[in-house]
Amino acid sequence: MTIVRATLWEAAKRRLLLAVAILSVVFVAVFTIGFLFARGRLGADPIEAEVAATILTVLGLYVASFLAAFLALFLSAGAVSGEIDSGQLHAVLARPLSRWSWLLQRWFGMAVVVTAYTLVLAGALLLVARWVVGYQAVNPLAGLALMALQTLTLLTLGVFGSTRLSTLANGAVVFFAFGLAWMAGFVEFVGQVIDNVAMERVGIVTSLSSGGVVNHPGPSDALWRGASAGLSSPAFLTAAAFGGDEAGFPFTGVALPSVELVVWSVLYVPVLLVLAVRIFNRRDL
């Protein structure tokens, strides 16, 4: 586990993590202040107040998922290519260490960082909402687990791309893939609202596609929608169900993901890692 420890130590020394930590603390503080000011205006009706609190909480968690996604993007963009360009990888692999072991250990170290960041930030927002208005999510453990899985899929995609592309190109591709997944989810939502089956299918297929690197957004948006459902309150989901809004809202969902989606998302990570190892083993350093 030498590479894992080295990756964690490298992450701890980078100013990126310090900047992200400071910005996250500021974000949680602003979220807390905003919730405190909004508490007196949530309304007397308990159902309406709970729905309003859900919207505030889920929007905060939506921003948290974006921050976690960008952290995964910046850490993984040069995970392999950056080490090659700096020449450090030549010295490391000169020792009795296989390429696949180095790559998997490096991925695992970064996975620990992004998973811990996602859980801590999202958990802090839930605690603030609970402290201010007594907010209760339907299934917070499932929601947090899905958010962490979303971040891991993006991290793994970044590591995979780093075995083939330069740091700059890989960062652009992963960012495009993340945006494409979000846009696909929005297209699917609009298709459900206007009852357009073609738009809905295009959104689903694009969101779950598994083609080349550029057209490889993965299930990140679908995981977020499932996570937001688990992190919503019972009153919010009930109001959405009685309102006939099966699609939820453009940035949220109203139901936990299907077993098939979870299985696909879980398999998505090791499949990309296997492909990354194969490419990296054949790459001329």
For the stretch 25-44, pLDDT in tens is 999 999 999 888 887 776 66
pLDDT at res. 184: 62
Rounded mean pLDDT, 154-170? 87
- What are the helix (H) ranges across the chain? 2-13, 15-39, 46-76, 81-86, 88-93, 99-133, 140-162, 167-193, 197-207, 220-230, 234-242, 259-282
Helix (H, G, I), strand (E, B) or coil at 80: coil
Assess whether pLDDT exceeds 60 at residue 77. Answer: yes
- Position with higher pLDDT, 4 vs 45: 4
CA-CA distance, 149 to 63, in Å (whole number)? 16
The reported pTM is 0.83
Among residues 60, 262, 64, the alpha carbon closest in space to that of 145 is found at 262
Among residues 256, 32, 14, the alpha carbon closest in space to that of 145 is found at 256
Assess whether pLDDT exceeds 60 at residue 210. Answer: no
Scan for tokens 């209760």, then name that residue: 136
**Which residues, other chains included, contact 129 with Cβ-Cβ below 8 Å and sequence gap of 6+?**
35, 53, 56, 57, 60, 135
Rounded mean pLDDT, 166-170? 82
End-to-end CA distance of the chain: 23
| Window from 67-81, 160-174, 178-192 with minimum mean pLDDT | 178-192
In order of 48, 49, 59, 129, 193, the CA distances from 235 in angstroms are: 8, 9, 16, 15, 21
pLDDT at res. 9: 78
Helix (H, G, I), strand (E, B) or coil at 96: coil
- Half-sphere exposure of residue 257: CA atoms within 13 angstroms, side-chain side: 28
The tokens describing 100, both together, are 């696949």
* 179 φ, ψ (degrees, to nearest 5): -65, -35
* 253 φ, ψ (degrees, to nearest 5): -125, 170
Q: How confident is the model at residue 188 (pLDDT cuts 50, 70, 90)?
A: low
Assess whether pLDDT exceeds 80 at residue 244. Answer: no
CA-CA distance, 284 to 270, in Å (whole number)? 23
